[in-house]
Structure 1
Amino acid sequence: MDFVIGVLILVVGLLLSIALHEIGHLVPAKKFGVKVPQYMVGFGKTLWSRTVRGTEYGIKALPLGGYVRLVGMYPPARAGRRRQVRGDGRLTLVEEARAAALEEIGPGEEHRAFYNLSAPRKLVVMLGGPVMNLLIATVLMAVMVTGLGLAQHTSTIANVQQCVPAEPGQECTPADPAAPGAVAGLRPGDQVLRWGSAEVESWEDVSAAIAGGGTGTVPVVVERDGERRTVRVTPQLTERPVVDDEGAPVLDADGDPVTETRPYVGIGPTFELVRQPLTDVPSLVWNLFTGTVEVVLTLPQRLVDVAEAAFGTAERDPGVVGVVGVGRFAGEIASVDSTQYRLTERSADMISLLVSLNMALFVFNLVPLLPLDGGHVAGALWEGARRQVARLRGRADPGPVDTARMLPLTYVVVAFMVGMSLLLAYADIVNPITLTG
Structure 2
Amino acid sequence: MTVLLYVLGVLFVALGVGLSIGLHEIGHLVPAKKFGVKVTQYMVGFGPTVWSTRRGETEYGIKAIPLGGYIRMIGMFPPRPGDRPGMLRVSSTGRFSQLADEARQLSLEEVQPGDEDRVFYKLSVPKKVVVMLGGPMMNLLIGVVLLGGIVSLYGVATPQKGADVAAVSECVVAAEQATAKTTCTPSDPKTPAYQAGVRPGDRFVSIAGQPITSTTDVGRLVRPRVGQPTPVVVERDGRQVTLTITPIRNTVQQVDDQGRPRVDAQGRPVTVDAGFIGVSSQTPVAYVPQPVTEVPGIVGEQLKATAGIVLKIPQKMKGVAEAAFGSGQRDPNGPVSVVGVGRMAGEAASGGVPWIGGRDGINPFVFLLSLMASLNFALFVFNLIPLLPLDGGHVAGALWEGLKRSVARLLHRPDPGHVDVAKALPVAYAVSTVLIVMSALLIYADVVKPVNLGG
Q: TM-score, normalised by structure 1?
A: 0.79
Matches within 5 A, 1:100-115: 100=108, 103-115=109-121
1:55 aligns with 2:58: yes
Query: For 2:381 and 2:342, how far apart are their aligned partners in 1?
Result: 20
Partners of 2:37 and 2:73 within 8 A in 1: yes
Partners of 2:43 and 2:61 within 8 A in 1: yes
**What letter corresponds to residue 269 of structure 1 in structure 2?**
Q
Query: For 1:251 and 1:423, how far apart are their aligned partners in 2?
Result: 38
Q: Deviations over 1:81-136 (max 9, x none)?
A: 677xxxxxxxxx98985662xx3422332221111111111111111111111111
Q: Which residue of 2 aligns with 1:328?
A: 343
Q: Which residue of 2 aligns with 1:401?
A: 419
What is the aligned counterpart of 1:373 among 378, 391, 394? 391
SS in 2 for 1:107: coil
Q: Which residue of 2 aligns with 1:364?
A: 382
Q: Which residue of 2 aligns with 1:299?
A: 313
Q: Deviations over 1:143-202 (max 9, x none)?
A: 2223333445553523453445434454467677957x77999765654567899986xx
1:27 aligns with 2:30: yes
Q: Which residue of 1 aligns with 2:94?
A: none
Q: Alpha carbons of 1:250 and 1:327: their partners in 2 closer, same or farther (altered >3 Å)?
A: farther
Q: Alpha carbons of 1:112 and 1:430: their partners in 2 closer, same or farther (altered >3 Å)?
A: same
**What letter corresponds to residue 7 of structure 1 in structure 2?**
V
**What letter corresponds to residue 393 of structure 2 in structure 1?**
G
Q: Which residue of 2 aligns with 1:267?
A: 280
Once the two structures are aligned, what percentage of the paired residues are identical?
A: 46
Offset, 1:334: 2.1
Q: Deviations over 1:218-262 (max 9, x none)?
A: 9988667656979999898833799xxxx9x99999xx9675669
Q: Which residue of 1 aligns with 2:91?
A: none
Q: Which residue of 2 aligns with 1:88?
A: none
**What letter corresponds to residue 57 of structure 1 in structure 2?**
Y
Query: For 1:252 and 1:109, how far apart are their aligned partners in 2?
Result: 75
Aligned length: 411
Q: Alpha carbons of 1:238 and 1:156: their partners in 2 closer, same or farther (altered >3 Å)?
A: closer
Query: For 1:38 and 1:378, how far apart are their aligned partners in 2?
Result: 24
Q: Which residue of 1 aligns with 2:365?
A: 347
Matches within 5 A, 1:183-198: 191-192=203-204
Q: Which residue of 2 aligns with 1:416?
A: 434
Query: For 2:71 and 2:255, how far apart are their aligned partners in 1?
Result: 51
Partners of 2:385 and 2:393 within 8 A in 1: yes
Superposed CA RMSD in Å reads 4.1
Partners of 1:193 and 1:223 within 8 A in 2: yes
Matches within 5 A, 1:266-285: 266-269=279-282, 274-277=287-290, 278-285=292-299
**What letter corresponds to residue 206 of structure 1 in structure 2?**
S
Partners of 1:148 and 1:274 within 8 A in 2: yes
Query: For 2:437 and 2:262, how far apart are their aligned partners in 1?
Result: 32
Query: For 1:401 and 1:251, how far apart are their aligned partners in 2?
Result: 60
Q: Alpha carbons of 1:5 and 1:45: their partners in 2 closer, same or farther (altered >3 Å)?
A: same
Q: Deviations over 1:347-397 (max 9, x none)?
A: 011112111111111111111110100111111121121122122222222
**What letter corresponds to residue 310 of structure 2 in structure 1?**
V
Q: Alpha carbons of 1:16 and 1:259: their partners in 2 closer, same or farther (altered >3 Å)?
A: farther
Partners of 2:353 and 2:454 within 8 A in 1: no
Offset, 1:301: 2.0
Q: Deviations over 1:298-332 (max 9, x none)?
A: 11122222222222333333312212211111121
Partners of 1:160 and 1:182 within 8 A in 2: no
Q: Alpha carbons of 1:55 and 1:303: their partners in 2 closer, same or farther (altered >3 Å)?
A: same
SS in 2 for 1:110: coil
1:7 aligns with 2:38: no
1:40 aligns with 2:49: no
SS in 2 for 1:39: strand
Q: Which residue of 2 aligns with 1:116?
A: 122
Matches within 5 A, 1:382-393: 382-393=400-411
**What letter corresponds to residue 448 of structure 2 in structure 1?**
V
What is the aligned counterpart of 1:288 among 302, 314, 321? 302
- Name which of structure 1's ranges 410-419 and 225-234 shifts more when overlaid on structure 2: 225-234
Matches within 5 A, 1:115-154: 115-152=121-158, 154=160
Query: For 1:304 and 1:371, how far apart are their aligned partners in 2?
Result: 24
Q: Deviations over 1:37-56 (max 9, x none)?
A: 11111112222222223111
Partners of 2:151 and 2:295 within 8 A in 1: yes
Partners of 1:150 and 1:275 within 8 A in 2: yes
SS in 1 for 2:117: helix
Q: Alpha carbons of 1:165 and 1:153: their partners in 2 closer, same or farther (altered >3 Å)?
A: farther
Partners of 1:164 and 1:177 within 8 A in 2: no
- Name which of structure 1's ranges 157-166 and 387-396 shifts more when overlaid on structure 2: 157-166
Query: For 1:241 and 1:309, how far apart are their aligned partners in 2?
Result: 33
Partners of 2:207 and 2:221 within 8 A in 1: no
1:157 aligns with 2:157: no
**What letter corresponds to residue 286 of structure 1 in structure 2?**
G
**What letter corresponds to residue 274 of structure 1 in structure 2?**
Y
Partners of 1:168 and 1:240 within 8 A in 2: no
Query: For 1:198 and 1:337, how far apart are their aligned partners in 2?
Result: 35
1:206 aligns with 2:217: no
Give unmatched runs, 5+ long, in structure 2: 84-100
